[in-house]
């Protein structure tokens, strides 16, 4: 079949309250009162574990503490901010301004976010003037709808070639003059060097005044002026020329890295056809609001998260999830913004607020992720702050110590000191990690995976063991009734009784029993006084008699022990991998109901792919040991059964002592165990995933994304190590060769700019990485 049928999967997204710990009937049949009041945002008890229900799937994702404060958020798009070092320069300059609470620079999307105590035009102007003074163009974004819908072009600005072209022409003229007249040629090179140096010197002065005295521009200026001072005009010119080429190459490479992020924003159409009272009207997409009815033709992209009104539609989600085969959606299904309509003109209802659709949230997560730096990135930032001043001081000592102490030649050691200054710029080192992380986040987003940041990426890349929640993660989370065994009453009576107590619950087991009763055309009236018994089950009254629905292991807490013949039947059912619940009064057994969940279609393939990566797998479940063994044997994995949430937490903490472990779950009920793991991964869609507990989210709700994620993060981690090794290794080599006079000024600047271009180009490999499997 050409299309994946979404109908088989869409129901799973709506059982926010169900989870393996709750579903486990053989250990704790406890869907309790929280199922009855699932959408009332109340506190619930589940298997002895207290938790809050999840938000509606269209609610906003949790904000960081800064956004929850009373600060005013001001946002600019910064044109010309083409490297992480540029972003650092802007941040350092703005820190000195008054009335600034916090500064956040997002290099990948060229954003400047400033938090201020109150909205003030004077403060805005002050910030913009400072940014302009640094040589960048700030574009103020006054409202949320402009946040991701402005021009996201990250192509290289060809105007940057003009100064390079002018300098190239002057160098050619200077060489020609040098051939005819040595003196005139030397003066021509001095003029050429000064012409090339002026813009660099201007920027160095601005940066120094702004609190960044050891920028590459400052080091370049000192080296070039020093070279002119010792009448090495030709080398001064070549140093400036090579520096400009290096900056250009860095800009080209960086613009390619940022295209991966900007391509997401470009998925959003500028205009959309809206239907008002039967009349079609074209409006700007950012003016759409929830409950608007829109019409999208074949080949058009969705401007917001929507609910399908038309009978069915084939949707291409490849730009968001990496899934190349179109998905068949049915009326009532939710579809994410940025998706492409494949065949028919369809009508849809908008459900997302302005700036809160799937694409906006992915971009926001990527932006927020840049603040969550990997440990190695934090180390490099700290190292670079001391590295450059230390090299500058060392260069000064190289210039003055040998001539003063050993009567060495001043010219020789002055020249070597100037060369060392050029080695002092940490640009390649500073950009080595963020360039990789930006590329990895972009690549992952295109494959339907959201990673929380550099630290999360590093953690996931180190994983040796993956622990899985069972229900809804390894299985579909939609159990079916397989056996109904009544005792002293008819099967229909047993089903009616249990369904009456379970009616209204959103728990998957409860819904399965109610649905089965309805399929058998039974009339169901809700039981009276339904309530939960913490850690045991649920009870209700019918005709003034109390009935209990519990797992077999909890029967003795509310009723008489089961007879041996009944225990034998239950064991047989559980050995077949089924989950069993029993209905009892305080005196006797009324009946036994068995249910069975089915494995996800991609579960076996995923386990095989993880095995190929050398990753061990483990299932943690609250289900009975026999049912857990049946599932685990199909998947070829180890398991731990009959676990309460606290037991899962203890298992994760115990295993983390000896190995790096990831926990995969729904990110809500599993949050204690997920937070205890080295890395946590949540299943869910792009708008309802609980990232507050997870390092990453599989937005396609597909397990196959997991080996892709681990493969990508491992590749990115290796790439970071390669970049750091390249940056430090080349610096070390040229530090030694410069000290002993084997390296000249022009080679030093070529090494610096070339290394920056190399590590950026190496980072681009992460952008194009695909798992071989």
Q: Which residues are catalytic?
A: 469
Dist CA 549 CA 559 (whole Å): 11
How much is the CA Rg of the chain, to the nearest whole Å? 32
Locate 315 and state its tokens.
């949707």
43 bridge partner residues: 52
Contact between 737 and 406 under an 8 Å Cβ cutoff? The reply is no
Q: How far apart are CA 309 and CA 330, in angstroms?
A: 8
Q: Say if residues 392 and 474 touch (Cβ distance below 8 Å).
A: no
> Residues 637, 467: contact at Cβ < 8 Å?
no
CA 93/CA 32 separation, integer angstroms: 57
Distance from C-alpha of 761 to C-alpha of 773, rounded to nearest angstrom:
25
Which string of b and e fits 194-211 if b means at least 16 CB within 10 Å? bebbeebbebbebbeebe
Task: Report the alpha-carbon distance of residue 446 to residue 264 in Å, rounded.
Answer: 8
What gap in Å lies between CA 375 and CA 386, rounded to an integer? Answer: 17
DSSP states of 459-522 as a string?
HHHT--EEEEEIIIIIB-S--EEEEEEESSS-HHHHHHHHHHHHTT--SHHHHHHHHHHHHTT-
- Report phi then psi at 257, rounded to 5: -65, -40
First vs last C-alpha separation in the chain: 22
Report the C-alpha gap between 541 and 591 in whole angstroms. Answer: 16
Distance between CA atoms of residues 248 and 119, nearest Å: 38
DSSP single-letter state for residue 743:
-
Q: State how far Cα 762 lies from the chain centre.
A: 21
CA–CA gap between residue 465 and residue 706 (Å, rounded): 12
Cα–Cα distance, 643 to 746 (Å, whole number):
66
CA-nearest of 361, 341, 344, 363 to 352 is 361
Beta bridge partners of 638: 618
Q: At what angle do helices 161-180 and 233-265 cross, to 10 degrees?
A: 160
**SS3 category, 4:** strand
Measured CA angle at 688 (ends 76, 65), to 5 deg: 45
Indicate the pairing of strand 327-330 with strand 4-5: parallel
CA–CA distance, 64 with 69 (Å, rounded to integer):
9
Identify the three-state secondary structure at position 487: coil
């Amino acid at each position: 079949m050409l299309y994946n049928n979404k109908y088989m999967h869409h129901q799973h997204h709506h059982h926010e309250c169900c989870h393996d710990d709750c579903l486990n009937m053989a250990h704790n049949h406890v869907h309790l009162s929280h199922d009855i009041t699932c959408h009332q945002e109340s506190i619930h008890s589940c298997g002895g574990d207290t938790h809050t229900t999840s938000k509606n799937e269209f609610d906003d994702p949790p904000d960081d503490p800064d956004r929850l404060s009373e600060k005013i958020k001001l946002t600019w798009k910064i044109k010309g901010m083409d490297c992480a070092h540029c972003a650092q320069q802007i941040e350092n300059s703005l820190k000195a301004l008054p009335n600034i609470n916090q500064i956040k620079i997002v290099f990948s999307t060229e954003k400047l976010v400033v938090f201020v105590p109150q909205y003030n035009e004077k403060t805005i102007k002050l910030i913009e003037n400072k940014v302009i003074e640094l040589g960048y163009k700030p574009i103020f974004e006054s409202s949320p709808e402009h946040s991701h819908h402005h021009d996201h072009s990250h192509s290289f600005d060809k105007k940057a070639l003009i100064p390079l072209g002018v300098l190239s022409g002057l160098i050619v003229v200077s060489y020609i003059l040098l051939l005819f007249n040595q003196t005139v040629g030397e003066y021509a090179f001095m003029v050429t060097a000064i012409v090339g140096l002026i813009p660099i010197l201007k920027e160095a002065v601005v940066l120094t005044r702004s609190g960044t005295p050891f920028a590459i521009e400052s080091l370049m200026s000192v080296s070039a002026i020093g070279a002119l001072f010792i009448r090495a005009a030709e080398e001064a010119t070549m140093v400036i020329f090579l520096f400009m080429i290096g900056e250009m190459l860095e800009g080209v490479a960086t613009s390619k890295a940022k295209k991966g992020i900007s391509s997401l924003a470009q998925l959003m159409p500028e205009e959309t056809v809206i239907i008002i009272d039967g009349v079609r009207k074209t409006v700007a997409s950012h003016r759409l609001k929830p409950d608007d009815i829109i019409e999208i033709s074949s080949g058009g992209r969705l401007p917001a998260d929507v609910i399908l009104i038309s009978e069915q539609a084939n949707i291409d989600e490849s730009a968001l999830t990496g899934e190349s085969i179109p998905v068949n959606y049915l009326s009532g299904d939710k579809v994410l913004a940025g998706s492409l309509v494949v065949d028919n003109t369809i009508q849809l209802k908008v459900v997302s607020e302005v700036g809160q659709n799937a694409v906006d949230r992915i971009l926001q997560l990527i932006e927020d992720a840049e603040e969550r730096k990997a440990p190695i990135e934090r180390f490099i930032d700290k190292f670079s702050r001391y590295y450059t001043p230390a090299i500058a001081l060392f260069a000064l000592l190289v210039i003055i110590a040998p001539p003063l102490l050993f009567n060495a030649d001043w010219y020789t050691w002055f020249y070597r000191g100037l060369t060392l200054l050029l080695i002092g710029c940490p640009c390649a080192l500073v950009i080595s990690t963020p360039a990789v992380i930006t590329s990895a986040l972009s690549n992952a987003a295109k494959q339907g995976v959201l990673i929380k940041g550099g630290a999360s990426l590093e953690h996931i890349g180190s994983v040796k063991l993956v622990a899985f929640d069972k229900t809804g993660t390894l299985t579909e989370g939609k159990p079916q009734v397989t056996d109904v065994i009544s005792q002293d009453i008819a099967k229909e009576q047993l089903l009616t009784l249990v369904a009456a107590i379970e009616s209204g619950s959103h728990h998957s087991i409860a819904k399965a029993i109610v649905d089965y009763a309805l399929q058998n055309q039974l009339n169901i009236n809700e039981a009276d006084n339904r309530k939960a018994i913490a850690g045991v089950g649920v009870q209700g009254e019918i005709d003034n008699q109390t009935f209990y629905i519990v797992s077999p292991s909890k029967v003795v807490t509310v009723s008489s022990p089961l007879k041996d013949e009944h225990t034998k039947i239950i064991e047989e059912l559980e050995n077949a991998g089924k989950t069993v619940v029993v209905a009892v009064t305080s005196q006797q057994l009324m009946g036994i109901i068995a249910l069975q969940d089915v494995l996800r279609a991609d579960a076996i393939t995923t386990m095989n792919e993880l095995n190929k990566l050398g990753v061990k797998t483990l299932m943690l479940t609250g289900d009975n040991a026999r049912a857990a063994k049946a599932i685990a044997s199909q998947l070829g994995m180890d398991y731990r059964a009959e676990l309460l949430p606290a037991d899962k937490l203890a298992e994760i903490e115990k295993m983390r002592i000896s190995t790096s472990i990831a926990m995969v779950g729904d990110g809500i009920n599993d949050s204690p165990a997920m937070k205890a793991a080295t890395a946590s991964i949540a299943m869910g869609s792009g708008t309802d995933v609980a990232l507050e507990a997870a390092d990453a989210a599989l937005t396609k709700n597909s397990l196959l994304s997991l080996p892709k994620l681990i493969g990508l993060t491992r590749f990115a981690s290796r790439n970071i190590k390669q970049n750091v090794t390249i940056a430090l290794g080349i610096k070390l080599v040229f530090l030694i060769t410069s000290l002993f006079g084997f390296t000249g000024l022009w080679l030093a600047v070529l090494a610096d700019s070339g290394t920056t271009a190399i590590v950026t180009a190496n980072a681009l490999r992460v952008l194009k990485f695909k798992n071989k499997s």
